Amino acid sequence: MNKLLFSFLSLMLLNAAYAQHTKTLFDSSWKFLKADVTGGEKEGLDDKNWRTVLLPHDWSIEDLPNQSDSVKGPFTSQSIGATATGYTVGGTAWYRKHFTLKNTDNKKITICFDGVYMNSDVWINGHYLGNHPYGYTAFYYDLTPWLKQNGEENIIAVRVRNEGRNSRWYSGSGIYRHVWLTTTNTTHIDEWGVYITTPEANTGMAGINIQTRLTTENEAASLQLRTNILDEKNKTVASATTAIAGKDEVAQTVKLAHPNLWSPETPYLYHAVTDILQGDKIIDHVVTNFGVRSINITADKGFLLNGKSIELRGGCVHHDNGILGSATIDRAEERRVELLKQFGYNAVRTSHNPPSQQFLDACDRLGIIVIDEAFDQWEREKNPQDYHLYFDTCWKKDIDAMVLRDRNHPSVVFWSIGNEINERADASGLAIAKQLRDEVKSIDDTRPVTEAICAFWDHPGYKWDTTAAAYALLDVGGYNYMLNEYEPDHTKYPQRVMMGTESFPLEAYTNWQQVEAHPYVIGDFVWTAMDYLGETGIGHTGLDSTPGFQLQTFPWFNSWCGDIDLIGGKKPQSYYRDIVWNRSRVTMLVHTPVPEGHKEAVSAWGWPDEVAAYTFPGDEGKSMQVNVYTKYPVVRLELNGKTVAEKTVSQQDLTASFNINYQPGILKAIALKDGKAVDSFILKTAGKPARIRLTADRTHINANANDLAYVTAEIVDANGNLVPNTEMPLHFSITGNGEIIAAGNANPSDAESFQDAEHKTFRGKCLIIIRPKGNAGKITLKAEGESLASGTVVIETKK
């Protein structure tokens, strides 16, 4: 766990215990049954034979019983969601948890669900608490009136219905985010009740406004609200104490000299410690993390963060964690953000729903700017059973849940009210957009509101100009795949600020040129930064097929359109993007052989089938294309020390293309400027597979269920070089205080179990995810494969 986060949590738990305010993780020992049950909410129901699960839990990623297809795993060609959900299965299931409480007389007990997909109904001791349709917003219930005290058993029952066709991507199913049980005094700070803004933020001084919403009893006249601002070393740097005087909301302002400003380069976090005091006694206590930063966005100056210009190197992501499905395990969420940062992103769009709290916490700590998006549809459907069925009655509580929960995150810079909404420019859609925007602004008016708008392919008679009324409602206009409209729209609407909320990978350089050339285009977000489950093969590359929007059928299960693959590997478009974003000076990719008589066809969201490798046994003498990407003017290509050719780099796409006849050895691209070599990139042919190399992302982890170790298994030759053409099964075994919770590879059409201890490699690699069992000690993972020397890795766990 991040040391800063650990110190925050330690402080919070220490003071919370003293303050009679506890927020307890409520994830363990839930009973689960994948079936609809008559009377599943009743206290007398016998659930002893139900499976015991640990939350977060996603049943759609688990192996299906009685599999009808020729694969083992979560996939079936009979899936109702089919290509959209990656051939996985939803349905109806029940969760039940038995628990007891002590010393909670005169306390308020609340249960909070961070996210349940979808359409959940909740009961406590047989009493119905409510229904929550949307699968991506947090919700909570007051349990107090129906709880049994003094050690008597209580039963929470949750029915989850992920039914019909309700999503355009893999959603997962179940209580896939955390559950919390909060105990407070009857006088307390409300859930999401602290709101911190920094209207003045510069290196000399910060003005910090704190608004705190309270629920108080009769003693309110004698109460005070104290807020201490602590830095990363837990030193108090500012403080305010205010009489509550019967108010249900208290406003405070403090000044902070020479603050550390939050930015992607320096993601500094403060935390506000808010206490309700009655004399010297702490009645309630809440800790809120926040950052000090300023936002200013205009068409003539672009996006200024803390007064400095910033261009958004953005990517869209869905919410799944690859081979873990949608389970929101803290370390999995953090690793996704680490990967984004590692591969050059400074911004992310949470497509097309609010993300987990843990994802935003990681963006705060690591420095990623966030577009926090609410909905994929409003009143008009995209699927028959999707959120449009509930929008009219639920939009307000879901918008409120998103903004109230997320408004203190410094990483959240934009609120998005929708994506490619069917009624986006109709009279009804404009009225809804205004309603959504106004509701967001009523809760938080410090951030710009955007919406991702695309061309009207579903209304051929419409013209792009019809979006003017929609954009007039927004602070920043989101453009999906409409880069050719930036300059004409600027001529017509010179005050409009724009950003590419979705773009094609193959247009990375063209899009980025617009960002660099025009301050009113503040960033570009590729679809997508990461491969995700569902929308099968939207980024596929094939032979002789028609490019465009064409999803691939079973056994394809993932999108294959990301810069980063399903297990965290770097895909070819990411190498190209490194050149576009000036992260590398020269790179080289080799196209896999195209069979004679055929031609390659690339999806609009895809990339040519080229790799950062030079190992093609059996293809000796065959013609291959080599692409060198660089901003230098000239490139020389050498094969085994001999010059193949020198070529001028096209400034339209930063590419120099060569044709070679494949022969093993060393391929070297040399960038030239004024006739002199200034940089190079080398690929070598690997030898035969010799052994398995295991590499853990971290060899020391915390002994709790929310930490994980990600272990990459690679097939290497005798010299330790990856053998990128190997696809072979490996068997994994584990000893010590851990368990394998997932194994998989990046192949988008390898529909296999993610829970089996044996898994094939793809392009020489696969991934194993290990979870500690809760005790400190050692975990040893061993990998074995036919005719290969085995590999081992040791991971230390600590309390």
Point out the residues that are catalytic: 420, 502
Strand partners, 643: 638
CA 362, CA 264: separation in Å to the nearest integer? 12
Displacement of CA 254 from its chain's centroid (Å) = 34
CA 285, CA 37: separation in Å to the nearest integer? 41
- Given a contact cutoff of 8 angstroms between Cβ atoms, the answer to whether 564 and 508 are in contact is no
Strand partners, 309: 304
Tokens describing residue 343: 């591969």
**How many other CB atoms are found less than 10 A from the CB of residue 739?**
12
Q: Are strands 188-201 and 205-215 parallel, antiparallel or unpaired?
A: antiparallel
CA 6, CA 13: separation in Å to the nearest integer? 11
The residue to which tokens 């705190």 are assigned: 212
DSSP 490-544: HHH-TT--EEEEEE-GGGHHHHHHHHHH-TTEEEEEES-SB--BSSTTTT-EEES
- Phi/psi of residue 579, each to 5°? -70, -45
Strand partners, 503: 526
Burial of 393 (0-12, 13-18, 19+ CB in 10 A): exposed
Checking 46-49 for CB contacts under 8 A at 24+ apart, the result is 47/96
Burial of 330 (0-12, 13-18, 19+ CB in 10 A): buried
Helix (H, G, I), strand (E, B) or coil at 107: strand
Largest CA distance in the chain: 88
- Given a contact cutoff of 8 angstroms between Cβ atoms, the answer to whether 501 and 507 are in contact is no
- Phi/psi of residue 371, each to 5°? -95, 110
Tokens describing residue 210: 């704190």
Q: Are strands 791-798 and 700-702 parallel, antiparallel or unpaired?
A: parallel
CA 127, CA 148: separation in Å to the nearest integer? 12
- Given a contact cutoff of 8 angstroms between Cβ atoms, the answer to whether 358 and 341 are in contact is no
DSSP 270-325: EEEEEEEEETTEEEEEEEEEE-B--EEEETTTEEEETTEE--EEEEEE-S--GGGT
Q: Report which residue type is found at 639.
A: L
DSSP 354-420: ---HHHHHHHHHHT-EEEEE--S-SSS-SSTTSGGGTHHHHHHHHHHHHHHHHTT-TTEEEEEEEES
Tokens describing residue 31: 């009973």
